[in-house]
Amino acid sequence: MSRAACLLVIISLMSPAAEALDNGLALKPTMGWLHWERFMCNIDCDTDPNNCISERLYMQMADVMVKEGWKEAGYEYVCIDDCWPSHQRDAQGRLQADPKRFPGGIKKLADYIHSKGLKLGIYADVGDKTCAGYPGSLGYYEKDAQTFADWDVDLLKFDGCFMNRALLGEGYTNMSKALNNTGRPVLYSCEWPLYEWPLKQPNYTAIRETCNHWRNFDDVFDSWSSVKSILDWTAAHQDIIVPAAGPGGWNDPDMLVIGNFGLSHDQQESQMALWAIMASPLLMSNDLRDICPRSKELLQNKRIIDISQDSMGKQGYRTAKGNNFEVWERPLSKNCLAVAVLNKLETGGPRGFNIGAAPGWKICGPQCNVTQILPQYKEMGVQTQQSKIIVSVNPSGTALLTVTPISSDFTRLHKLNWQGTFVRRKHTIL
Ligand code: GLA
């Protein structure tokens, strides 16, 4: 394989260009659980009562989240996706939950979720219908926002099906205002850019002012090819989307599918590591009632969650690629750096990568402390700019490390290396 010279993109330490939606929410990437990828539109409670979209599913998930350490790890939102409502609005024109599957109604479900110290998310659509054909909110933004607020809902995922693309901006903005007017803080999760890209390049300044996170690309599936396509899209558009992310508003590459059927353990580690580097919402879509211990340990890994939730709130990005490796880096608070090395070669065995060749390694001057988090936790001790440390990365797996400078000269070097918006350079890695 030839050596490839690749793009090095360096993000500034400055704040994101635009102001975030000012509702005080999502100061760190949202953590929780969302039903869609795993449970989809299963409404057959007669033959599949355990897995159908019903109040029982969310109550059971909330119970497990408290009992099994998920809440303690930071997972807070229990989110309903499509297929929860009745096909008809009520006599007052309000959305109503399917009476058979949600006999207690959403308000009672919210009370239950709150009694566990968790928060409830709900789903609606900016257009005529939801993607699965349930009533849309077009013409009802104020009514629906008020209904959700009256039910004490804490998050709204607002989809973009069945909507004139030219009116997406207006629709998403009006719903944002309607939520704000209720006086209840409701985290606002949008799909505005995803539906707008086919028409034009979205205005991320406006999106950041309107939404707390926003989907840019296709739905995640339970497969490595799906996760890879999301990473590829993100890297290809990082100059446009990365500057928009920061406390209060985040790019959303969709749910974590860790703990399901389609990813090997190495691939699950890759998704977890890269979602933390990308400062993505960590919304799991899996069955927490039945999840293997290794997936659970990965999803609850405190060191990875600390990277995800870093208080500086800078999104990481791909800084180099070559020889079927990709290096992704995220600047962290206290002048630290997270580095992920993804082995994209899906054949053969583990391959070595010299972490000293990562573009961000420059911050290790004259010395730094290195910790490997994935695939195994390992203190790698004090290193220098000249260090050659080979990390072993399995096919479609990721090594994740943190680098902490220990030089008094650090501030100067760090500024040199990271300041300025998107400095493009050629970089070759072995
Ligand atoms: C769209 C969204 C998904 C999910 C489904 C529900 O495809 O992108 O995340 O909400 O609709 O129908």
Does ligand 1 have an atom closer than 6 angstroms to the CB of 131?
A: yes
Note the pLDDT of residue 18.
78
Query: Does the global pTM surpass 0.85?
Result: yes
Phi, psi of 37 (to 5 degrees): -60, -40
Does ligand 1 have an atom closer than 6 angstroms to the CB of 36?
A: yes
Pocket test for ligand 1, best of 40, 129, 219 (most atoms within 8 A of CB): 219
Fold match between 31-309 and 317-408?
no
CA of 219 to the centre of ligand 1 (A): 7
What DSSP element (H or E) covers 390? strand 390-393
How many of the other CB atoms lie within 10 Å of CB of 258? 27
Note the pLDDT of residue 202.
98
- Under CATH, domain 317-408 is a member of which superfamily? Golgi alpha-mannosidase II (2.60.40.1180)
Decide: 172 and 192 in contact? Cβ < 8 Å.
yes
Does ligand 1 have an atom closer than 6 angstroms to the CB of 159?
A: yes
Q: What's the distance, Cα to Cα, between the start and end of the chain in Å?
A: 10
When pLDDT is averaged across residues 265-282 and rounded to a whole number, the result is 99
How many of the other CB atoms lie within 10 Å of CB of 426? 9
Note the pLDDT of residue 429.
41
Note the pLDDT of residue 365.
86
Average pLDDT score, the chain: 92
Question: Which range among 3-12, 116-125, 215-224, 227-236 shows the weakest confidence by mean pLDDT?
Answer: 3-12
Q: How far apart are CA 368 and CA 382, in angstroms?
A: 6
Residue range 133-190, pLDDT digits in tens: 999 999 999 999 999 999 999 999 999 999 999 999 999 999 999 999 999 999 999 9
Phi, psi of 241 (to 5 degrees): -95, -30
How many CA atoms are closer than 13 Å to the CA of 117, on its beta-carbon side? 10
More confident residue, 2 or 74: 74
**Catalytic hit among 125, 144, 154, 159:** 159
Closest residue (by CA) to atom 3 of ligand 1? 219
Decide: 230 and 220 in contact? Cβ < 8 Å.
yes
Note the pLDDT of residue 125.
99
Q: How far apart are CA 245 and CA 155, in angstroms?
A: 19
Pocket test for ligand 1, best of 33, 34, 35, 36 (most atoms within 8 A of CB): 36
Q: Where are the domains of the chain?
A: 31-309, 317-408
- Under CATH, domain 31-309 is a member of which superfamily? Aldolase class I (3.20.20.70)
159 is catalytic: yes
> Band of the pLDDT at 238, cuts 50, 70, 90?
very high
DSSP of 49-85? TTTSSSHHHHHHHHHHHHHTTHHHHT--EEE--SS-B
> Band of the pLDDT at 298, cuts 50, 70, 90?
very high
CA of 56 to the centre of ligand 1 (A): 21
User: How many residues are listed for the chain in this entry?
Assistant: 430
**Catalytic hit among 152, 219, 232, 239:** 219
